[in-house]
Structures are given as C-alpha cells and as structure tokens.
Amino acid sequence: MPYPADRERDRPWVMRTYAGHSSAAASNALYRRNLAKGQTGLSVAFDLPTQTGYDPDDELAKGEVGKVGVPISHIGDMRQLFDQIPLAGANTSMTINATAMWLLAMYVTVAEEQGADPSTLAGTTQNDIIKEYLSRGTYVFPPGPSLRLITDMVAWTVSNVPKWNPINICSYHLQEVGATPAQEVAYAMCTAIAVLDSVRDSGQVPVEKFGEVVARISFFVNAGVRFIEEMCKMRAFAQLWDEITLERYGVENPKHRRFRYGVQVNSLGLTEAQPENNVQRIVLEMLAVSLSRNARARAIQLPAWNEALGLPRPWDQQWALRMQQVLAYETDLLEYDDIFDGSPVIEAKVNEILAGAREEIDRVQAMGGAVAAVESGYMKSQLVSSLADRRRRVESGEEIVVGVNKFDTTEPSPLQAEGANAIETIDPIVEMHAVEAIQQWRASRDNAAVAAALDSLREAAKTDQNLVEVTLACARAGVTTGEWSQALRETFGEYRAPTGVSGASASGEAGSEIARVRDRVRGTGEEIGERLRMLVGKPGLDGHSNGAEQVAVRARDVGFEVVYQGIRLTPSQIVAAAVQEDVHVVGLSILSGSHLEVVPAVVDGLREAGAGDIPVIVGGIIPPDDALKLRERGVARVFTPKDYELTEIMDEIVTVIREVHSLA
C-alpha cells in the first residue's frame, strides 16, 4: 500500500557514474561537472598502472596510462583529483584493490590537508582481492599477504575512519566472467567469511566492536537483464548475509547485520551491434536493484549506452545519470513498501538461489575457504565453465540477444553517425606528460625522507604490525605508487593466479560445426607436418581475461595445442614465448584501449626475432578506425564483440594459417 501520510518518501540511493581518465586535472573537471548535474556520489576509476602498482614510466605501463581511469602516482595527483571538492562532505567510491591501502592513505591525507576530520569521511574502497584472482586480474601479491593488507585496513578504519567501508566485496565481476546467481552469491559470501575470519583472528579488533566491523562490510553487485531473477538474487543475498553474520559471528544488532550494497548494472551484456538497445537494457537492469524495497541498492552507477564501443563521453554519462533521476524523482517507486513480500513465485526463486548458494559455500569451506579455492583453481575453473556454457547458449540461439543473434537487421544508428567521435578518446600525449611529471616529482621531493619511509614500510611488512600508519607516512613523504608497491613486492613476492582453462569444459557445443572445424585443424596440421599451436596472449596490464580464456578453451576444443600463460605480459615476453613454443598463430586479447601501442610492439618483435611469418590476430574493444590501423601494421585479423561465434573465429584462424603457409 502507499506510504502513510505521516511518512515521507524513501530517500533515493546514492547516484554515481564511474569516471576518470587522462589526468587528475581532467578527471577533477569531469567530477565537478557531474556533481553540478545532480550526481550525489563520486566513483573513481583508476588507470591500470595505478591499480596494479606501477608508475607511468614503467615498461608494463606503456600504452595504459590514463586509458581506463585516472593515473594517481603520488599525493600531488590526489590533491589535484579532489581540488575544490570538499572531502568532508563527499561520498567517494574508489574502485581499487591491490593498492587500496595506498590510495586510501593518500585520500585521508588530502582530506586532512583540507581540514577534514578523518572520522567524518564517508566512502568505500573496493579492496576485494579474491575476485581479482578470479576475474579482473589487477592483483599484485599472493593471497595470504593480500588478505593481510585487507585485514589491516578493516581494523584501522573501524577505529580511525568509522564511516568508511574498507572493503566492497565485489561479485559484479564474477557475473561478468560467467557466475550463475547462486555462484555469485556463494563466492561473494565465501570472500566475506575469509575477510571476517581474518579480522577476528588477527586480534586487532576487540570482540565487543566486531559488530562494527560487520556493519562496515559492503557489497558491489551486478544486475543483468533477467531482472526478476536478479531481484530475487538480491533478496537471497540479504537473507543469507543476515543468517551468516548472526549464526557464524554472533552479531545481535540487526542494524549491523543489514546487507548494504551498491551496484553497476551489467556492462558485459551491452552490445556493439545495435548499441541503442543498450539503453533499455540498462533501465531494466536498474529495476532489478530498485524495485524490491527490502533489498534495494544503497548506491547505483549505470554504464553508458556506448561502453561496448569505447570510453563514454560526458554527455553519455549524463544520459545514464538522468535515467536514475527519472526513476527516483518522477515515478512512484519510493512511495511503497516492498511490493514482492508474500509472492509465492518470488519466494520460490529466492529459495532456489539460496539452496544453490549454500551448497556451493559448503563446498568451498570444505576446501579450506575462499583463499584455498583460489589457489587450487577450483573457483576459477567453475567460472570459466559457466561462461563457456553461456556462450554456447548464445551461439546456439537458445539464449536470445536482440540485435546480435536474432533481429539483427538494422537501420544505420544516428547515435553513431559521428564515427570515432561517438566515444571519448585519449590523446597519446597524456602518457608522455605523465612520464615527464613523475620524473619531475621524483627530482623535486625530499628523497632522503622517501627512502626512510620506504625502509619503515619494508621492515613493518616483515612483522605483524598494521601497515596503514607506515603507508600514511609514505604518502606524506611523497612516495610514488610504483615505489610503495615495489617495496611490498620485495617482501611479499608476486603471484600468478590459475587461469582455469585446463579444468574448464565447453560441453554441449554444436556438434557438427565444432567437428567440421576440428577436422580443418587436424587436416591443416597434417599438411604442415605438425599439430597446430596457438599462443593466446594478454599484453600490458589489462586483466579482464575472460575473453582470452574462452578463446583458449574453444581453441583447445577444436584441436589446437594452446599456450596460455595468463595476464600481464610484456610484448617481449609474448614474442619470446611464441618463438620458444614455435607456434603457428598468436592471438592477443585487449580490452583496455592500449591496442595501438602494444599490438604493433608484438608484431615488430616477431619480425626482429626472425618469426615475422607467425600471423598475429587481435580481439577486443577496438573501434573500426583503429582496426584498420592494426591491419596496416601487419595484423592478420581483428575481432570485436560483434564477432560472438567462437567456432567461426577458430575457423577463420585456420584460414589465416593456411594463407601464411600457401595452402589451397
């Protein structure tokens, strides 16, 4: 029924857009424009070097600076990012994980410089490293030390920045790499259990304050276009969180047990073909996390209609913000109690998701918990298999994607009439300026103070001392992002997570087509005189590996011998592996926008190594003009998200190999 006359409408959720690119100054201007348009929170996108702990002049950062977010290399950049934005009154979400402690330290320092009391700061650091091993790939350190960094942050913020969410357990990217609703719920809860157990067992938080720890744990979820199922998933999430925090941790205060989550709706479901259809997808997905009052999101950020094409422009982000504002302020959504309570259909679906999630949680806990399930490769292989099954359903037409595998005839889109101008592009000079700026910063600071701060960090990392205070000292001294990360790399080591490819299955593929391509692979190998070998490579810092993994799985299924070493490789490492393994084709997957820099480096490297006859193919979010440039630089084929049929792609790769070997 409508809300009583003596009760106001529910307060709208925090409205954000995920934004940041080029430089701190450019991103600051964008943030201030968005806030002036009615955005009520900031969501900071950091570039890949910042996320993975490299400075702009590092070899691995080449081509990645400022592409998918803003580069923040030191406290000076952080000051510029929030210039004229009073942090005491802001609500800032930072999508940062491996280097979360470092970015929080700089944020708190800048807030103090503005005169803010840290105890008043409100916001969130994503800081969920488990899902990085499973999906986004921006991890740096092994699971154990990574969990230690998270534990220290949770313990420190509860005492010093009590309104801050020190971790945003993020199932969003799990869905993007294939998770079913039950898997998304289960693996997120397993991560929460791992973090809460670690904080409890560290002894850094008194038992009587543990409810405050639970109260600051937030979640960040995905919402797909099956919005009834997604809404049921959120109700299941809320119910299971209440159950776990009460029964496992004995948290009696229901306010502490409240399930608090933010959401970005499903970017993976956005299509390059007929991208105007993405508008209605985004709106429907927003309903999934707003219709049910008892499981409504606390913060929502929406992608733009053209994110499958490239980086959105300010106008595109404004459109996404207006969608939220129309729903919150023009409709009657916020005037009613939960409209689904008592529905037997909803209750049955929620119970189905709960049953599947509980079963999977028990399985992971029996293995030793989330960290053990990451190290064994179990969770990763489950997700790779789930995504392979989803791709099978799309390719077979069992799952319809409008404009892609059905209803694909179309009129020219006026939204794309501007061609390359329909997306935001980053001038390559941005990286050059960032490299010059970091060198000037190092030259102008007190390097003795920097060295002392880094020595203190290294020594503390060898003990069980909480690392936040020594990290704050590094920020104040002018340490750079790369230096902070390198100091911890020296102590903790680096890590390469299991790829999940070897344990994945793509069963149920269309038998006749995959058999035909398998015959071509076998026959071509016999003509050449050896089994066909493909190297699948992820150059640069782009850790979104699901596309590469699916290519590797399908290539193996059609008979290729597959070489896949995972993410974060330099072009020279890829070239060396291609030569050493004597492969017949190199396939590169890039989603970060660095394709014009790193792909030619691989092509040139192969030529210099005397292996210029090995063809290079590329897949990723690559605008048509850039695809043409890559072909001119010697790339044999370019595939984009519209090329969704993997078996057809495999067939075309065989054709490329035959062309290179002059086979009829």
pLDDT, tens digit, for every residue of 618-630?
A: 998 888 889 999 9
Whole-angstrom Cα distance, residue 295 to residue 287? 12
Among residues of the chain, what percentage have pLDDT more than 70? 96
> Is residue 249 annotated as part of the catalytic site, yes or no?
no
Residue 354 pLDDT class (50, 70, 90 cuts)? very high
Would residue 433 show up in a list of annotated catalytic residues for this protein? no
pLDDT tens for 522-557 read 999 999 999 999 999 988 888 778 788 888 888 998
Q: Which domains, ranges and CATH numbers included, belong to the chain?
A: 14-125+432-498 (no CATH), 169-396 (3.20.20.240), 512-661 (3.40.50.280)
User: Does residue 242 have an active-site annotation?
Assistant: no
Which residue among 54, 172, 495, 644 is the active-site one? 172
Q: Which of 62, 544, 584, 595 is catalytic?
A: 544
Say whether pLDDT at 505 is over 70: no
Q: With a cut of 60, say whether residue 484 has pLDDT above it.
A: yes
For residues 477 and 384, the model is more confident at 477
Q: What tokens were used for 36? A: 């002036």
Share of the chain above pLDDT 90, in %: 67
Task: Kindly write down the DSSP assignment for every residue of 563-623, as one continuous string.
Answer: EE--S-B-HHHHHHHHHHHT-SEEEEEE-SS-HHHHHHHHHHHHHHTT-TTS-EEEEES--
Where b means 16+ CB within 10 Å and e means fewer, 304-325 reads bbbbbbbbbbbebbbbbbebbe
Split at pLDDT 50, 70, 90, the class of 1 is very low
Annotated catalytic, 495? no
Told to judge if 18 belongs to the known catalytic residues of this protein, a careful annotator would answer: yes
> To the nearest whole number, what is the mean pLDDT of the chain?
91
Of 21, 62, 131, 173, catalytic: 173
The catalytic position among 67, 233, 538, 584 is 538
Q: In whole angstroms, give the CA distance from residue 217 to residue 199.
A: 12
Residues 612, 617, 620: CA angle, nearest 5 degrees: 145
User: Could you tell me how many residues make up the chain?
Assistant: 664
Residue 544: active-site member: yes
Query: What pLDDT shows up at residue 503?
Result: 56
Active-site pick, 542, 557, 584, 595: 542
Hey, what are 46's tokens? 């950091």
pTM of the full predicted structure?
0.87
DSSP 410-423: -PPPGGGTTGGGGS
Read off the pLDDT of residues 165-202 as tens digits, 9 standing for 90 and up: 999 999 998 998 889 999 999 999 999 999 999 999 99
**Residue 574 in tokens:** 């890829």
Span 207-227, pLDDT tens digits: 999 999 999 999 999 998 999
